[in-house]
Amino acid sequence: MIVDNETAEWTREEWQLEARQLLNEIGPGLISPSAYDTAWLVRLMEQDAELGKGALEWLCQNQLPDGSWGTGTPVCYQDRIICTLSAMTALARFGRRAQDRKAISNGLIALETLTKNATRQLVANPASSTVGFEMLAPALIAEAEELGIISSQGNRILGRLEKQRRLKLAKLAGSTIDRTITAAFSVEMVRDDLSRLDLENLQEKNGSIAYSPSATAFYLIKVRPEDPAALTYLHQVVSEGAVPYVGPAEVFECAWTLWNLALTDWSSELKDLTHRPLQELNKAWDVGIGLGAATGLSLIDGDCTAMTYEAAKKWGGTFDIDSLLYYEGDDHFRCYTLEVDPSTSTNIHLLGALRQAGFKTSHPSVQKIFNFLVRQRQPDHMWVDKWNLSPYYPTAHAIIACAGYNDGLVQGSVKQILASQNADGSWGYMEKTAEETAYALQALCVWKRSGHQVDNGVLENGLKWLKKHSHQPYANLWIGKCLYTPIRVVTATILSAIGRVTQELRGEI
């Protein structure tokens, strides 16, 4: 983003220049580095020195001041624990330099602090658990105990996670993990118990395991050392020694970017640049079931399917309705075929897609989502979700999906967003962020356009703050195995909000 001056005025042409640059860039998916996954590459030191040494150097350069690894701010306990355990065990096995020993020493101090605060932090943030935390953390804890990094956790809260792991693994009894189920993404959780894996049907065509660098590294260590396809995959996703928690993710990046840009009427002159991303989405789409976060990924999901459908529809593309309804369950819509906890944002996005498809509010499938959202709504009229730390993400998207469609469901949510704006114009759940401010502004603009009153002063103050803080790096609010940022998706969100508010204030809508 080129604008970081609160007094700068954007012309339609300047906004389109930024949007065109973004549309030209979207492709494999630009995601922030993952300390958890990068630490797994250190374990490949003996198989591939280039990957191992680069990852080791990155870890040493990106240790946080307190000795832990993970996202600095906002602080998420699960993120810090999983990243620190992953880095510590990797360094303990392969760190040989003086600086590696120093990093381990500092990490031990951080781990002690983290484990002392475990009970309070896990109770304080029950909705922010990272993907597979209850499966991955016990495996890393067991390894850390074996290496003497930490003492036996026993009945301490981290030790009790092992009981949760066993219960979940028990649900897989009689079946094995292949590339079509979500457990493949966290396959490193099995440690040495390879009998739980369908080894012949685990690897994706691009050489990865579920497009996960850490799962792929585990496969190289425990299943097929020096597998050329797996090593090629890791070399494709590594950058400056580090890897993201997932990659590539071009469907996710294209769909969310197109969805965000479509919220702004200034986007009408960008259609020529949407052909390429729409072709990518069309290539990945499988009639009847939709698609996943990337072309070729076996793990299809309702969230990407819904966002792709709605975004494509707004830009003149079309896909089949049956793919949306494929994810319908008894009382809500699924994100994945086999999932323990439903995703609020997935249901919100499917609501938006069904609305875009012309479904009436009286349709049973639409009513099912309405009822689910009523049950999931928090006392403050906000929603929380398992894919993003911030309640502003699902809540803003719910307002956008419901404005002029089911106003009653989100009236309280709009009031809460208005009430929670900071004095300087920003928004933020844990701290002030550009991403969350953009969500709030998008929702308020759509709400206003649907015929409701929103004070222009709210929009003006929000826009002023957002333009001043629109530059990178962004806060890591998205939840994977650790916290991360889908950089171009967040850029598109901010760009969309700036354009939309500017239009509203100028009376161009």
Domain shared by 215 and 266, yes or no: no
Q: Tell me how far apart the alpha carbons of residues 75 and 359 are, in angstroms, rounded to a whole number.
A: 41
User: Would you say residue 120 has pLDDT above 90?
Assistant: no
Is residue 139, in this structure, part of any structural domain at all? Answer: yes
CATH number at residue 164: 1.50.10.160
Domain shared by 201 and 280, yes or no: no
At 3 the pLDDT is 52
Nearest in space to 373 (alpha carbons), one of 416, 418, 413 = 413
User: Would you say residue 415 has pLDDT above 60?
Assistant: yes
Nearest in space to 223 (alpha carbons), one of 247, 246, 245, 192 = 192
Domain shared by 108 and 171, yes or no: yes
Domain that holds residue 115: 35-237
Is residue 294, in this structure, part of any structural domain at all? Answer: yes
Mean pLDDT of 464-480: 95
Is residue 377, in this structure, part of any structural domain at all? Answer: yes
151's CB contacts (< 8 A; 6+ apart) are: 145
Q: Token match 């804890």: residue?
A: 141
Kindly report which listed range (24-28, 48-52, 256-260, 459-463) carries the lowest average pLDDT score: 24-28
Query: 109-123, 146-160, 269-283, 300-314 — which one is most confidently predicted on average?
Result: 300-314
Is residue 7, in this structure, part of any structural domain at all? Answer: no
Last residue in a domain, options 206, 237, 268: 237
Domain shared by 470 and 343, yes or no: yes
Other beta carbons within 10 Å of 134: 19
Domain shared by 427 and 326, yes or no: yes
In whole angstroms, how far apart are CA 442 and each of 16, 109, 265? 18, 43, 13
At 156 the pLDDT is 57
At 118 the pLDDT is 60
At 267 the pLDDT is 77
Domain shared by 52 and 142, yes or no: yes
Instruction: Count up the domains in the chain and report the number.
Output: 2
Nearest in space to 138 (alpha carbons), one of 116, 96, 110, 168 = 168
Is residue 4, in this structure, part of any structural domain at all? Answer: no
Asked whether the CA dihedral 23, 27, 29, 33 is positive or negative, the reply is negative
Q: Hey, what amino acid is at 436?
A: E
Last residue in a domain, options 174, 203, 237: 237
CATH number at residue 397: 1.50.10.20
| % of the chain exceeding 70 in pLDDT | 93
Domain shared by 150 and 55, yes or no: yes
CB 211 within 8 A of CB 297: yes
Is residue 242, in this structure, part of any structural domain at all? Answer: no
Domain shared by 219 and 255, yes or no: no
Q: pLDDT, tens digit, for every residue of 18-43? A: 999 999 999 889 999 999 999 999 99
At 159 the pLDDT is 61
Q: Tell me how far apart the alpha carbons of residues 172 and 189 are, in angstroms, rounded to a whole number.
A: 13
Q: pLDDT, tens digit, for every residue of 221-255? A: 999 999 999 999 999 999 999 999 999 999 999 99
Tokens of 479: 């939840």
Domain shared by 207 and 268, yes or no: no
User: Would you say residue 4 has pLDDT above 80?
Assistant: no
Q: What is the mean pLDDT of the chain?
A: 91
At 10 the pLDDT is 75
CB 182 within 8 A of CB 336: yes
Mean pLDDT of 446-475: 96
| % of the chain exceeding 90 in pLDDT | 76
Beta-bridge partner residues of 388: 478
User: Would you say residue 61 has pLDDT above 70?
Assistant: yes
138 or 171: which leads in pLDDT: 138
Q: Tell me how far apart the alpha carbons of residues 436 and 433 are, in angstroms, rounded to a whole number.
A: 6
Domain shared by 216 and 361, yes or no: no
At 8 the pLDDT is 58
At 449 the pLDDT is 95
Query: 70-74, 337-341, 462-466 — which one is most confidently predicted on average?
Result: 462-466
Element (H, E) at 324: helix 322-325
Is residue 5, in this structure, part of any structural domain at all? Answer: no
User: Would you say residue 6 has pLDDT above 60?
Assistant: no
At 155 the pLDDT is 56
At 145 the pLDDT is 84
At 11 the pLDDT is 83
Last residue in a domain, options 237, 272, 297: 237
Q: Token match 């685990």: residue?
A: 202
Q: pLDDT, tens digit, for every residue of 393-408? A: 999 999 999 999 999 9
Read off the DSSP letter of residue 168.
Answer: H
Domain shared by 452 and 427, yes or no: yes
339 or 56: which leads in pLDDT: 56
Per-residue confidence at 153, pLDDT binned at 50, 70, 90?
A: low
Q: Tell me how far apart the alpha carbons of residues 315 and 431 are, in angstroms, rounded to a whole number.
A: 34
pTM: predicted TM-score of the whole model, two decimal places: 0.94
